[in-house]
């Protein structure tokens, strides 16, 4: 297992942690993980008017922000903690 794999695992676990995601969204005004239901007609209108591209770009920007947050506030502190780092590497290699 390499360092990149450990970051991807950490990112995945962070994204699946509903409370972490909820608080991240609250603090940053994001909407990641919120399954906002849109009616099929709304989706069609969004695609026809080009608004779907805006939604896709917004999601991409929010996801990049979340990835940076996880790197800075979750993964780096884990890597600086020897016990946590060893546990993380043991989980990934298992």
Could you tell me the two tokens for 65?
């922000």
pLDDT at 92: 59
- The pLDDT-based confidence of 90 (bands split at 50, 70, 90) is confident
- Taking the CB of residue 16, how many other CB atoms lie within 10 A of it? 10
Pairwise CA distance, residues 65 & 45, whole Å: 28
Tell me the per-residue pLDDT of 5-56, one tens digit each, with 9 for 90 and over: 889 999 999 999 999 999 999 999 998 887 667 788 988 999 999 999 998 8
pTM, entire model: 0.78
């Amino acid at each position: 297992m390499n360092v990149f794999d450990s970051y991807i695992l950490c990112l995945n676990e962070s994204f699946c942690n509903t409370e972490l995601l909820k608080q991240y969204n609250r603090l940053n005004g994001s909407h990641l993980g919120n399954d906002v239901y849109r009616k099929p007609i709304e989706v069609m209108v969004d695609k026809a008017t080009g608004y779907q591209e805006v939604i896709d770009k917004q999601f991409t920007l929010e996801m990049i922000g979340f990835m940076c947050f996880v790197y800075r506030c979750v993964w780096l502190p884990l890597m600086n903690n020897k016990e946590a780092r060893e546990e993380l590497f043991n989980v990934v290699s298992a």
